[in-house]
Amino acid sequence: MLKTAQRIGLVSTIVLLSSLSALAQTAPWNIDPAHSTAQFTVRHLGISNVTGSFTKVTGSVALNEKDITQSRVAASIDVNSVDTRVEMRDKDLRSPNFFDVEKYPTIEFKSKRIVSSGGKLQVVGDLTIHGTTHEVTLDVDGPTPEISDPWGNSRRGISATTTINRKDFNLMYNKLLGTGEAAVGDIVKIQIDAEIVKKK
């Protein structure tokens, strides 16, 4: 019994030391809202694509330089910042027909794990839209090598893509055309481009 307890204690100590080591190698970075955006593309009338963006993206990255898979990401999007270059359409997207920003003002993403394979990164996490959460996988390009900007800040760039079905997030509104074709497609392609700045 004592040996078993000692083994459990040893394993717990190793896990704790590993966690502390990973924490020590992790540096905090912030997403720079002025140089970050989340874009989306959806099919319109079954014949073309409409692209829009959310221009207010904030969040943080706990970046582990030694083991990128031990990093963490949390991001928040201000849904009111939606911009498709058509004011009437943007108002409709903000309304209860779609995002219902009065009830659900933000879109949230929190990473659960990061997978590195063949030089490619995938960030798996919980995406919350319209009060509904589902696990999604982001295919990531980056982070780029660290540079110093003219003001002495350390910066890196990250791009990520994924595809979702809007109905999975209870974004159900649509209109059927005389041909039976839906006015708005269900499949949404998402691309996130962000600059991250190291906290001083």
Average pLDDT score over the chain: 88
Confidence of residue 38 (pLDDT cuts 50, 70, 90): very high
Residue spans of the domains in the chain: they are 26-198
- pLDDT for position 151: 87
- pLDDT for position 8: 53
- Residue pLDDT, tens place only, 124-153: 999 999 999 999 999 999 899 999 989 889
- Residue pLDDT, tens place only, 163-197: 999 999 999 988 776 665 678 999 999 999 999 99
- pLDDT for position 39: 98
Neighbours of 183 (CB within 10 A): 13
- pLDDT for position 182: 79
Query: DSSP letters of 67-118?
Result: -GGG-EEEEEEEGGGEE-S-HHHHHHHHSTTTT-TTT--EEEEEEEEEEEET
Q: Is 29 exposed, middle or buried (0-12, 13-18, 19+ CB in 10 A)?
A: buried
Q: Cα separations (Å) of 89 from 82, 92, 118, 152, 184?
A: 10, 5, 41, 41, 12
Architecture of the domain delimited by 26-198:
Beta Barrel (2.40)
- Residue pLDDT, tens place only, 85-118: 999 999 999 999 999 999 999 999 999 999 998 8
